Amino acid sequence: AQTVTQSQPEMSVQEAETVTLSCTYDTSESDYYLFWYKQPPSRQMILVIRQEAYKQQNATENRFSVNFQKAAKSFSLKISDSQLGDAAMYFCAYTSGGTASKLTFGTGTRLQVTL
């Protein structure tokens, strides 16, 4: 079974600084998809960024970028120029696609942004 591990329960970053959230996963599949979701206090699940395993290039979405290391099964999220609105719970998620395209989530990292 696939597992997703987020080893940082909480992180803190100062406004305008950069922070990296870690995620590792375990799978025997060669083709799969990875995501980062943000869950603010409203509890809405917001898709932040995605990465296809077959792509070597790291995904980037504005201030958000990933460092995808397929051999190490590592998928970290970097948030640049942190803003107060970035404060949230961040979940790393995995799916193998195909018929079993359910998401398996990590336990989340709570990010605090301070002035």
Residues 6+ apart with CB under 8 A from 76: 20, 21, 22, 23, 66, 67
46 scored as a contact of other proteins (CB under 8 A): yes
**Which one of 21, 59, 66, 106 is in contact with other proteins (CB under 8 A)?**
106
Whole-angstrom Cα distance, residue 48 to residue 112? 17
DSSP-derived secondary structure letter, 81: S
Least separation in angstroms between residue 111's CB and other proteins is 15
Per rule CB under 8 A, count of chain residues that contact other proteins: 23
DSSP-derived secondary structure letter, 84: G
33's torsion region: left (phi>0), alpha (psi -120 to 50) or beta? beta
**Which one of 2, 50, 58, 64 is in contact with other proteins (CB under 8 A)?**
50
Span of 29-37, 54-62, 69-77, 79-87 interacting with other proteins by CB under 8 A:
29-37
Which residues here bind other proteins, judged by CB under 8 A?
A: 33, 35, 37, 42-47, 50, 91, 95, 97, 99-108
